[in-house]
Amino acid sequence: MPIQLKSRSDLIRMRVAGKLTRQVLDMIGVHIRPGVSTVEIDEICHRYIVETLDAIPAPLDYRGFPRSICTSVNHVVCHGIPGSKRLKNGDIINIDITVIKDGFHGDASRMFTVGKPPILAERLIATSQECLVKGINAVTPGAHLGDIGAAIQQHAEAAGFSVVREYCGHGIGRGFHEEPQVLHYGTVGQGLEIKPGMTFTIEPMINAGGPQTRLLSDGWTVVTKDHSLSAQWEHTLAITDNGVEILTADPK
């Protein structure tokens, strides 16, 4: 499938979808506490997206996914299905939000901590966020997708962590998952050239242990094979003539 370069009018609507996505993540933070279940977090987000934002939660019924958000706790890498599991002190959780507004998607995720996490978890969370920033800083017209992956991989591995290989960032717009695929490892100067009009996510999944993962029997939940902690941050980006615009970031 060819890459869909976005027009000015497309980007106007994508900015709105990105802003709403960020608002959901801003809203949910106060609800992340010991004793709350991940399905309760999902229900709060669902009501906020549908009733307050008048938008659509993209994951719900997407290829059969049963909930409105993804909640990935501790050793869950991505696509965790909200359920009866209750958070406890020391847990870390990634909340992944994708909102559809006026036909366009916004996609972002953020790490949250429950009480006081272990020092290793705090380091992993900080490093994974730094990896996202490193990846974004590598984005400019004329650069290559491999530049993004190389920046992320170098930073993660220098900190003693590993990069998940099986899952990656993706193009986004009218479709939830469009071309191109954005790997979080790679070689400088390799891969597709980055051009104005592209819109895609960067969402590095960084493990405290090895990079290997395992898909659970529910067909969605991905965990670290060695049961080590995993952390992830995500933004949706638009490539402009002069650089990059982070559509899901606070303009401040």
Q: Look up the pTM and report it.
A: 0.97
Q: What is the pLDDT of residues 137-180, one digit of tens each?
A: 999 999 999 999 999 999 999 999 999 999 999 999 999 999 99
Residue 146 has phi, psi (to 5 degrees) of -65, -25
Using an 8 Å Cβ cutoff, are 156 and 131 in contact?
yes
With beta carbons less than 8 A apart as the criterion, state whether 161 and 207 touch: yes
Per-residue confidence at 250, pLDDT binned at 50, 70, 90? confident
Residues 6+ apart with CB under 8 A from 107: 21, 58, 96, 97, 98, 172, 176, 201, 234, 236, 248
Mean pLDDT of the chain: 97
45-56 pLDDT per residue, tens: 999 999 999 999
The rounded distance, in Å, linking the Cα atoms of 215 and 61 is 19
Other beta carbons within 10 Å of 84: 8
So where are the chain's domains? 8-246
pLDDT in tens, 186-198: 999 999 999 999 9
CATH code for residues 8-246: 3.90.230.10
Q: Which amino acid is at 146?
A: G
